[in-house]
Homo-oligomer: A and B are copies of this chain.
């Protein structure tokens, strides 16, 4: 028994903004008969996550790739790893059987082969749509939760600034911050997004960064009393302006620097005199270090989702074919909320 499998790969390493034709679809046959005792599985992918950080894995080299694990480089021709929800179609792993729903690291493909030490686990959907389990109830959610609560240690009433505030992580940080009693301002790249932030997600204020010339004075306008927490998803001049407008003992959680991913000349050079005299902490983090929070995160987040206090903002494209456009769109700012591709019906 075998299936024809289609999967995406890159033609060459990608050094700038990704374009659709940086990718091509490969087809191969995948044997469904696995070696007995191999502990391998074949899964059929249902939903996969589309994330900006994946670009760093597609580069020829990036300091991120030295981290290992979830960040190692992806070679041209190779399958592209991604977080996803899938169903087991063949299993030699005694812990799983055909038909099981699983969540974890798969590939941008119709089917993925999961090795004996694959990063995967059984999924209990808990009554939520399966797509929630690649975004708000998975790494995007944990990143927002751990980054905001553990790294920023927010206090009620503090002033929070979130960039890329309609991104998969940013929109959740803003929502968690509002639920925590903070004043929250987000920035995004269109008028429609600004309206969504204020009207749908309850941000106190939001602005379109493309309409602003001097980010320093923009932030001064939105934060007359200064910023206590900056949740950074973009890096570069936005981080500099946030640090310049920060209060004493301010915290910058560096979650992503999307503006620097596609332009290696772009760098954040926050004023170190500010950093010293305002005792600012600039802290990089990865959700993977905070899995100890996972149960707490899941219970808090699912409660808020059920009570309607938290909104799951998803941007779902349909079909394996849509992946390159969806991925390139992240860097154009196309997505509104968590970008997901639905590969197959459940």
Contact = CB atoms under 8 A, between A and B. Distances in A.
Interface of A: 56, 62-64, 66-67, 71, 232, 235, 239, 244, 248, 254-257, 260-261, 267-269, 271-286, 289
Main secondary structure of the interface of A (DSSP, over half): mixed
Contacts of A283: 275, 279-282
A67 to B, nearest CB: 4
A289 B56 CA distance: 39
Contact of A273 (B63, B271, B277, B289): B63
Contacts of A235: 272
A129 B281 CA distance: 37
Nearest to A268: B272
Listed residue (A239, A260, A272) with the most chain B CB atoms within 10 angstroms of its CB: A272
A66 B280 CA distance: 14
Contacts of A64: 273, 276-277
Contacts of A279: 283-286, 289
Contacts of A284: 272, 274-281
Nearest to A255: B276
Listed residue (A232, A261, A284) with the most chain B CB atoms within 10 angstroms of its CB: A284
A234 to B, nearest CB: 10
A272 B260 contact: yes
A286 B276 contact: yes
By Cβ-Cβ distance, the 3 closest A-B pairs, closest first, are: A275-B284, A267-B269, A269-B269
Contact of A271 (B239, B267, B277): B267
B254 A276 contact: yes
Contacts of A276: 64, 254-257, 284-286
A244 B235 CA distance: 17
A255 B274 CA distance: 11
Contact of A277 (B67, B268, B274): B67
Contacts of A273: 56, 62-64, 257, 260-261
A281 B281 contact: yes
A254 B272 contact: yes
Given A62-B273, A63-B273, A254-B276, 8 more contacts: A67-B278, A232-B272, A254-B275, A260-B272, A267-B271, A267-B272, A280-B283, A282-B283
A71 B256 CA distance: 33
A271 B63 contact: yes
A277 B239 contact: no
Contacts of A71: 277
Nearest to A271: B63
A71 B274 CA distance: 12
A318 to B, nearest CB: 31
A291 to B, nearest CB: 14
